[in-house]
Amino acid sequence: MTLPDFYYAEPQFRSAAPDVKQPKAKADRMPGTPETGIALAQDYYRVEAFATRGDRDAACGPAAHPDVRYVAANRRDIARRHVVIEDIACGYTVDHPRFDEVVSVIFDAALKRLFAGLLQSPKDEIGILAAVVMTIARTRYTIAADCVGDWTNFPIKGFAVFETVDQELMNRTIEWLHNRLILSASPLLIGATSN
């Protein structure tokens, strides 16, 4: 899928960060201490998409991680780095009026990847068969396909590492993703009436 005509903000990672080349090995960290260095930040922060230049420009600047900042980027910059739509983040929160405009494209790509993974999974497998990660407003959301007996459930979880995220906002985003998943995966249910 080609990159849509959005305005992009790209994370830049400070090369002088102490652990940029060699993150601490798990054995070298104190027990129970998560890896929160630049290596984790490079996986956590993604290129963000916005519907307007003004919204994108407002999101540029420092991130919560001290070694990460966002800068403006165009579609060609992003394509040259081989970033695909499945790896793009929605910069808006669920409460923003342009949220649907941006997240819908990203959600559709993530759902396509989830179902492709589900089709490739072993048929007699139990547990998580496939999963995708979406980043929305610098919070990661995982949508999984979980096989329980003859049923497949799609649990959705939110996770913030560096950013401070209001739990209520995260819950509303999970609810939006859940509702969109139902509509996307069950098109025959739209407009259905009970017997």
> pLDDT tens digits, residue range 104-160?
999 999 998 988 887 777 666 666 778 899 999 999 999 988 877 777 788 899 999
- For 38-63, give the DSSP string: HHHHHHH---EEESSHHHHHHH-EE-
Segment among 40-54, 62-76, 116-130 with least mean pLDDT = 116-130
CA distance linking residue 39 with residue 56, whole number of Å? 25
The dihedrals phi and psi of 119, each to the nearest 5 degrees, come to: -70, -25
State residue 33's pLDDT score.
37
- Pairing status of strand 7-13 against strand 48-50: antiparallel
| Cβ-contact 158, 173 below 8 angstroms | yes
4-45 pLDDT per residue, tens? 889 999 999 986 545 444 444 444 433 333 455 778 888 889
Closest CA to 130 of 142, 140, 139: 142
State residue 125's pLDDT score.
64
State residue 180's pLDDT score.
92
State residue 70's pLDDT score.
95
Tokens standing for residue 144: 């999984």
Segment 83-95 mean pLDDT: 92
